[in-house]
Amino acid sequence: MIDIIAEGFDAGLRQESVVPQDMIALPLGIPEMLLIVASPDYLASRGTPQTPGDLLTHECIRARLPSGTIMRWELGKGANQDVVDISGRLIVGTTLLAARAAAAGAGLAYVEAREAQPLLDAGKVVKVLDDRTPPLDGLALYYPRQRLPSAAFRAFIEYCKRQLPVRSQDELEQACMTTGEG
């Protein structure tokens, strides 16, 4: 992860749970849900996984994160979370591409609910192991506590505080588009 102070940035964006404790965090939205999805045709031919362990016998579409690492499939709720070491021949650059590949029948994908929703609504994918997928922390704008911010940065923070809280990532994006800030 980038050290915003060492790199000379005023602020950064991260999932709220991984913002360093010595930073001020301004939450930008509610947590997103993660889903495992697959096309009905894929499930008809390969069967529907009933447990996280069943994923080991399936084609799982893996997503490469911007850091270069492969997204881990963390399943479970609360203290009962497990990381499933999934395998699959297809690695894509985003979870949106993973959702689209799942809709095309390439396997199971672990994606954000908002990315999968249009495909779910169209019946191109269905949820799998829905009771095992945890929420994904919402994003937070974060910045150093000790740094004296510029007037422009202070104005930006005040603008963000007036626009927040938002109830969803879609609402955040809409607020940015209507104000010309996005």
For 107-145, how does the pLDDT look when each residue is reduced to its tens digit (9 = 90+)? 999 998 989 999 999 999 999 999 888 777 778 888 888
pLDDT for res 165: 63
**3-state SS string over 119-156?**
HHHCCCCEEECHHHCCEECCEEEEEECCCCCCHHHHHH
Banded model confidence at residue 84, pLDDT cuts 50, 70, 90:
confident
pLDDT for res 48: 97
Q: How far is residue 147's CA from residue 143's CA, in Å, rounded to a whole number?
A: 8
pLDDT for res 116: 95
Q: How far is residue 58's CA from residue 49's CA, in Å, rounded to a whole number?
A: 8
Give the closest residue to 122 by CA, choosing from 106, 107, 100. 100
The mean-pLDDT minimum among 11-15, 130-134, 177-181 falls in 177-181
Q: What is the pLDDT of residues 14-45, one digit of tens each?
A: 888 788 888 888 888 777 788 999 999 999 99
CB 28 within 8 A of CB 140: yes
The mean-pLDDT minimum among 86-90, 109-113, 139-143, 147-151 falls in 147-151
Task: Round the CA-based radius of gyration of the chain to a whole number and report it.
Answer: 19
pLDDT for res 78: 63
Q: How far is residue 15's CA from residue 31's CA, in Å, rounded to a whole number?
A: 9
Q: How far is residue 94's CA from residue 139's CA, in Å, rounded to a whole number?
A: 17
Domains and CATH numbers, the chain: 4-30+138-178 (no CATH), 32-136 (3.40.190.290)
Give the closest residue to 109 by CA, choosing from 37, 165, 171. 37
Q: How far is residue 2's CA from residue 77's CA, in Å, rounded to a whole number?
A: 29
pLDDT for res 182: 46
Q: How many CB atoms lie within 10 A of CB 46?
A: 15
Q: How far is residue 92's CA from residue 68's CA, in Å, rounded to a whole number?
A: 11
Residues above pLDDT 70, as percent of the chain: 86
pTM comes to 0.69
CB 97 within 8 A of CB 63: yes
Give the closest residue to 137 by CA, choosing from 173, 165, 174, 169. 169
